[in-house]
Amino acid sequence: MKNALLSLLLFFPVSCLLAQEPSFVYESETLQIEQISPNTFVHVSYLNTDDFGKVACNGMIVINEGEALVFDTPANEEASLELINWLETDKKTKVTGVVATHFHWDCLGGINEFHEKGIPSYASEKTIALAKTANYPLPENGFKNKLKLEAGGVKVINQFLGEGHTKDNFVSYVPSDQVIFGGCMIKALGAGNGNLEDANVPAWPSTVRKVKSRFPDATIVIPGHGKIGGLELLDYTAKMFEQK
């Protein structure tokens, strides 16, 4: 697996890959999917908001050996069903789990479609409690601070490292592909503050620095919204909220 990743990076350095326009392996009006490493994909769906208008929302998919894990549902049930159908029909994979990285709607708004298919869902105990208070759909399986999952032998580490965008936000890391899914805790370059309604702004920079320290080998970072990048997204986010 590592040799395959190294071969990919040898011919296509990360900086070159990230500078290119996305090359979607699937595209419709409601959902786009882009492969960014040997086993990792980004799914993009759209949330209509009062404050920010139509917002593109990122999630992650990890696929290997006929199995798939989804990190954050698409932003609505229609796009979530579309994603499940693509995975099952086009990719011939079994979806073994869906993970919500915090309690906001753009992470779990489509989770009932996964439940309808008998797909288990995971989130931190904090996320489940906050989703219940908000009267949002509830993930089924909770964990305290750390959860390891696998898709066809490809490991994904899900870990809570502190508060930031929300009290419950955690990151998901794919060691073999060196990819961090930062969710809404991590900002794309040039992005603004976004939704601070549930944020712990003073703690946010420290949490992001812990993410960088915990996963120093990461080369690709997926933010909750906007373009993917490298570790510079962590630095950008930390500096943004140090100034508040």
Q: Which residues are catalytic?
A: 102, 104, 106, 165, 184, 187, 195, 225
Task: State residue 240 phi and psi, 5-degree precision.
Answer: -55, -45
Contacts of 19 (CB under 8 A, 6+ apart): none
How does pLDDT run across 162-191, given as a tens digit for each residue?
Answer: 999 999 999 999 999 999 999 999 999 999
pLDDT above 90 for 2: no
Cα 12 off chain centre by? 23
Contact 172, 180 (CB under 8 A): yes
Nearest to 95 by CA among 107, 86, 106, 104: 86
Residues 147, 157: Cα–Cα separation, whole Å? 6
Contact 183, 171 (CB under 8 A): yes
pLDDT at 4: 43
Among 8-12, 203-207, 210-214, the range scoring the smallest mean pLDDT is: 8-12
Residues 46, 105: Cα–Cα separation, whole Å? 11
Number of domains in the chain: 1
pLDDT bin (cut points 50, 70, 90) of residue 154 is very high
Q: What does the buried/exposed string (b/e) look like for 20-58 if buried means 16 or more CB atoms within 10 Å of the residue's CB?
A: eeeeeebeeebbbbbbbbbbbbbbbbbbeeeeeeebebb
Q: What is the extent of the structural domain holding 171?
A: 2-242
Nearest to 95 by CA among 74, 126, 135, 68: 68
Contacts of 116 (CB under 8 A, 6+ apart): none
Q: What CATH number is associated with residue 118?
A: 3.60.15.10
